[in-house]
Amino acid sequence: MPVLLEARSLGDDNHAIGTAPPGDCLEIGLLNNLGDGGLASGERQFISLLEAAAGDAVVRLTLYSLPQIRRSQATRERIRGMYSSMSSMLSGRLDGLIVTGAEPSAPDLPSETFWRGLTEVMDWAEHHTISTIWSCLAAHAAVLHLDGIQRQPLPAKQSGIYEFQRTGDHALLAGTGASYRAPHSRFNGLDAESLESHGYQVLTHSRTAGVDTFVKKWGSLFVYLQGHPEYDAPALTREYRRDILRFLTAESGRYPTMPENYFRDDVEMRLRDFEMLARIERKPESMFSFPVSIMGDGLKAESWRQDAATLIHNWLRYLRAQKS
């Protein structure tokens, strides 16, 4: 089934526009808090994942974004045209809500400009959704607000495609194998022992990459993702290029870690050669030598997409069962 995208006005970037179908339509909200550079790609990735997962379910998706996030004028215009207001969300109900991460700018989460708005959504979602998915930074913020669990900085950015093992049975993992693959891209992590001591159930875990998916039942079933099952194939490449440019412009003092288990071996060698050049000639113009051809054919298989679609399919099935 197509995903019907509710929008305040019609635009070329709308994936699919429709009116609310009768009956068992699932009302899903996407609270998209990604930075200006990732806002549109985040929309596309989540719509694509929902379409792959929907099966015979009818999903109507409404876009929202926290107004406290600093935006360019162009992005504000996009949000004004395509997104619904937060007040409209907080005055109603949704069957399901997906909350993305955000670009951090403060030394700790409670100091972020969007913290108050995000915690208001957490408190609202507990009683006004059947289930909510908290992704990446949103997952870290939710466990901090709800249970005081602090995320811990990692020695280096964890970026790549990782294999996780199922740690128990749960309806969200129905149809997946003993192992589960997912993209991760983060500087911080949550400890499994701390989560479990506060009543969270860890569903997928890796000795090398840590916790992936975990859940806790409040008034709503909260599903937490440290990874990014929505990512399309070149997403980690885009992030890697962005982080390289930040190094070359001295916005960052550290050359980024290459995504693991992601590029083909021959491509990794080309990227190592580029890294040597970039470290010697540290200037923005060095990006002209970046091997852009890898965006199309330099990646290993997009092996996580089936697992991602299965997870979201099971989530939608849970919503339908609870709604009926």
Which residues are annotated as catalytic? 136, 228, 230
- The distance of Cα 73 from the centroid of its chain, to the nearest Å, equals 24
Identity of the amino acid at 188? N
Report how far apart, in Å, the C-alpha atoms of 178 and of each of 5, 167, 213 are.
34, 9, 14
Rounded CA separation 46/239 (Å): 17
Token digits of residue 276: 């040597």
Q: Which helix (H) or strand (E) holds 206?
A: strand 201-206
Widest distance between CA atoms in the chain:
62
- Please identify which residue in the block is written with the tokens 């069962």: 321
Identity of the amino acid at 250? A
Could you tell me which residues are beta bridge partners of residue 216? Answer: 222
Burial group, residue 27, by CB count within 10 angstroms (0-12, 13-18, 19+) = buried
